[in-house]
Amino acid sequence: MIVAGVWAHRKGFGRGVRLPLRQVFRHFVDAVLGLSLVVIVIGGIVGGIFTATEAAAVAVIYSLILSMLIYREVKVSDLSDILTDSIVTTAVVMLLIGTSMGLSWVLSYENIPQSIATALVAVSHHGVVLLLIINAILLVVGIFMDMTPAILIFTPIFLPVAVEVGVDPVHFGILMVFNLCIGLTTPPVGTVLFAGAGVAKVPITDIIRPLLPLYLAMLVCLMLVTFLPEITLFLPRLLGL
Instruction: Note the pLDDT tens digit of each residue in 186-219.
Output: 877 777 888 788 778 888 888 888 888 888 999 9
Domain-embedded: residue 222 = yes
Instruction: Verify that 90 and 126 share a domain, yes or no.
Output: yes
The predicted pLDDT at position 17 comes to 76
Report the pLDDT value the prediction gives residue 241, as an integer from 0 to 100.
67
User: Which of 74, 94, 117 corresponds to the end of one domain?
Assistant: 74
Q: Is 171 a domain residue?
A: yes
Is the same domain home to 175 and 115? Answer: yes
- Does one domain contain both 91 and 131? yes
Dihedral, CA atoms, 85, 192, 66, 22, nearest 10 degrees? -130
Residues 110 and 228 in one domain: yes
pTM above 0.95, yes or no: no
Identify the pLDDT of residue 219.
92
Domain range for 39 is 9-74
Instruction: Give the span between the Cα atoms of 191 and 189, in whole angstroms.
Output: 6
Let me know if residue 2 belongs to a domain. no
pLDDT category at 224 given cuts 50, 70, 90 is: very high
Query: Residue 180 and residue 176: Cα distance in Å, rounded?
Result: 6
Spell out the residues 6+ positions from residue 167 whose beta carbon is closer than 8 angstroms to its own: 127, 130, 131
User: Higher pLDDT residue, 92 or 88?
Assistant: 88
Is the confidence at residue 47, as pLDDT, over 90? Answer: no
Mean pLDDT, to the nearest integer, of 71-100? 82
Degrees to nearest 5, angle at CA 33 with 28 and 38: 100
Residues 204 and 231 in one domain: yes
The amino acid that residue 21 corresponds to is: L
Whether 1 is in a domain gets the answer no
Q: How confident is the model at residue 222 (pLDDT cuts 50, 70, 90)?
A: very high
Does 87 reside within a domain?
Answer: yes
Mean pLDDT comparison of 11-25, 112-126, 159-173, highest-scoring range:
159-173
Instruction: Decide if pLDDT at 19 tops 90.
Output: no
pLDDT number for residue 220: 93
Asked if residue 167 has pLDDT above 70, the reply is yes
Residues 89 and 70 placed together within one structural domain of the fold:
no
| Boundary of a domain, candidates 52, 74, 96 | 74
The mean per-residue pLDDT over the stretch 60-80 comes to 88
130 and 172 housed in the same domain: yes
For the chain, the domain total comes to 2
| 212 lies in some domain | yes
Indicate whether 3 belongs to any domain.
Answer: no
Q: Which of 11-20, 142-151, 215-224 has the highest mean pLDDT?
A: 215-224
**Residues 111, 85 share a domain:** yes
Does 57 share its domain with 88?
no
Q: Mean pLDDT, to the nearest integer, of 46-51?
A: 87
Please state which of the ranges 2-11, 129-138, 148-157, 210-219 shows the lowest mean pLDDT. Answer: 148-157
Pair 159, 46 in one domain: no
The whole-number pLDDT of residue 124 equals: 66
The model's confidence at residue 52, banded by pLDDT at 50, 70 and 90, is: confident
Tell me: do 101 and 212 sit in the same domain.
yes
* Together in a domain, 48 and 122: no
In a domain, 146, yes or no: yes
